[in-house]
């Protein structure tokens, strides 16, 4: 979590976060478009431009307030959800599953690419004069890995409106799907409550293990 006392690091976190959520939402839009739903294309959401995916309240105001109120210990936010019309899919439930999974998988891919870059350059393989540059590169790669693994793991929690609920819904019975739909109106509140109650302590070890796997540790 970025420290409020280190503006440069905080700015780097914000930039990486915005670019990562833009990739996340773009992949939602791209898969939906490929499966027959062009809603995101018509609404100019099929883009990697972070500005198209920013929600003033959920992406900027809420995370900023939580960060300040918690003295840098807690932050929660989300991008503007990509609009999806499942009726446009040939197989609506499967189409929604694939569209939902695309976002977290995009974050996992970005984390894997950053980890590959981290592993590619070792201190003992470059002159000592560029060690400082290598260190900055490693720190940036770790930031990309951390941010994207947080997005990957967090978004797979099966609580609406998180992507994990869309994936899980495909495998539920009709009654289970109805229950999931009924939770939709309270989902965001549940996510915030669970986050403040210590959801990070449950997800943290998963993120750590994934980091170790990607870095071959």
| pLDDT tens-place string over residues 114-138 | 999 998 877 566 666 656 777 888 8
The answer to the question of residue 155 being in a domain is: yes
Q: Give percent of the chain with pLDDT exceeding 70.
A: 88
Residue 14: phi and psi, rounded to 5, are -65, -45
- Mean pLDDT over 128-156 rounds to 85
Residue 122 catalytic? no
∠ CA(188), CA(204), CA(132), 5° rounding? 115
Q: How confident is the model at residue 211 (pLDDT cuts 50, 70, 90)?
A: very high
For residue 154, give both structure tokens.
Answer: 């967090």
Q: Which of 25, 122, 129, 146 is catalytic?
A: 25
d(CA 128, CA 30): 44
Expressed as residue numbers, the domain containing 200 is 7-214
The answer to the question of residue 2 being in a domain is: no
Collapsing DSSP states into helix, strand and coil, what is residue 114?
helix
C-alpha torsion 44→49→52→55, nearest 10: 160
In this predicted model, which residue has the larger pLDDT, 56 or 3?
A: 56
For residue 17, the surrounding DSSP H or E stretch is: helix 7-34
The structural domain count of the chain equals 1
pLDDT tens, residue by residue, 64-120:
776 676 665 556 667 899 999 999 999 999 999 999 999 999 999 999 999 999 988
pLDDT at 190: 85
Q: Over 56-72, what HEC string results?
A: HHHHHHHHHHHHHHCCC
The answer to the question of residue 29 being in a domain is: yes
The answer to the question of residue 1 being in a domain is: no
């Amino acid at each position: 979590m970025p420290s409020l006392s280190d503006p440069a690091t905080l700015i780097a976190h914000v930039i990486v976060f915005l670019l990562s959520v833009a990739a996340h939402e773009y992949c939602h839009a791209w898969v939906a478009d490929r499966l027959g739903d062009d809603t995101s294309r018509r609404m100019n959401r099929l883009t990697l431009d972070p500005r198209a995916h920013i929600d003033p309240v959920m992406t900027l105001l809420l995370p900023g307030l939580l960060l300040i109120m918690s003295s840098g210990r807690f932050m929660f936010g989300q991008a503007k959800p990509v609009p999806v019309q499942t009726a446009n899919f040939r197989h609506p439930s499967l189409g929604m599953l694939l569209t939902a999974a695309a976002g977290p998988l995009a974050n996992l891919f970005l984390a894997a690419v950053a980890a590959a870059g981290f592993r590619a350059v070792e201190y003992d393989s470059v002159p000592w004069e560029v060690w400082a540059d290598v260190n900055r590169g490693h720190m940036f790669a770790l930031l990309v890995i951390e941010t994207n693994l947080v997005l990957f793991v967090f978004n797979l929690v099966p609580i609406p409106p998180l992507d994990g609920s869309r994936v899980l819904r495909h495998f539920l019975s009709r009654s289970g799907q109805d229950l999931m739909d009924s939770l939709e109106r309270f989902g965001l509140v549940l996510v915030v409550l669970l986050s403040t109650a210590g959801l990070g302590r449950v997800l943290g070890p998963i993120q750590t293990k994934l980091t170790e796997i990607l870095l071959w540790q």
